[in-house]
Amino acid sequence: MLKRIALVCVVALGVTACQATGSGQKQGAGTLLGGVAGAVAGAQFGKGSGRVAAGAAGALLGAFLGNQIGQSLDRADQLALQRSTNNALETQPTGTAVSWRNPDSGNFGSVTPSPAYKDNTGQYCREFTQSITVGSKTEEAFGTACRQADGSWKIVR
C-alpha cells in the first residue's frame, strides 16, 4: 500500500511539474487531489502488478481531470467548497449532502460524509464524496479527513 501511495505522489507531482508556468495553485491542487483519487479508484481493480498498473493509470487520469477542474474553479468556488466540506464533516449525518453554488461562476457541487471512525492513532476521521460541476462537466472525488487537535478537519487523502 505504501508503494502505491508513493507511486501516486510521484505521478501526480510529475504531472503537476509539466504544467505551463503561470498556472494557479488551484490547478496544481486539482492535479494532485485528482491523481490521488484516481489512484485509489484504479487500485481497486486487478491483482498484483495489474493492480499497481490500474492504480497508476487511475492516477494519470485523475490528475488530468483534477487539473482541468482546478483550472476552472475560482477563489470563491474554492471557499464555497471548503465551507461545505467543513460543514459536512462537522455537522451532517452520514449520507447527507451539503451543497454549494457560486452564482457568479455558475459552478456548484456537494459534499457527502460517510460515518466517523477512529483511526489507528485515535483521531476521528470521516471519508467523504465530493461532486463538482464546472460548466457541463461533473466530476466526483473521494477523500478522507481527520479532526486535528484544534478541532479543524484536515484532508489526509
pLDDT value for 73 = 80
Q: Is the dihedral of CA 46, 49, 55, 56 positive or negative?
A: negative
Q: Is the dihedral of CA 102, 107, 112, 117 positive or negative?
A: negative
Q: Which residue has the higher pLDDT, 68 or 111?
A: 111
pLDDT digits (tens, 9 = 90+) for 100-115: 999 999 999 999 999 9
Compute the average pLDDT of residues 130-142.
Answer: 92
Q: Which residue has the higher pLDDT, 118 or 8?
A: 118
Task: Give strand ranges (E) for the chain.
Answer: 98-101, 108-118, 124-134, 137-147, 153-155
Indicate whether this model's pTM tops 0.85.
no
Domain locations in the chain as residue ranges: 2-72, 75-155
Q: Which residue has the higher pLDDT, 21 or 46?
A: 46
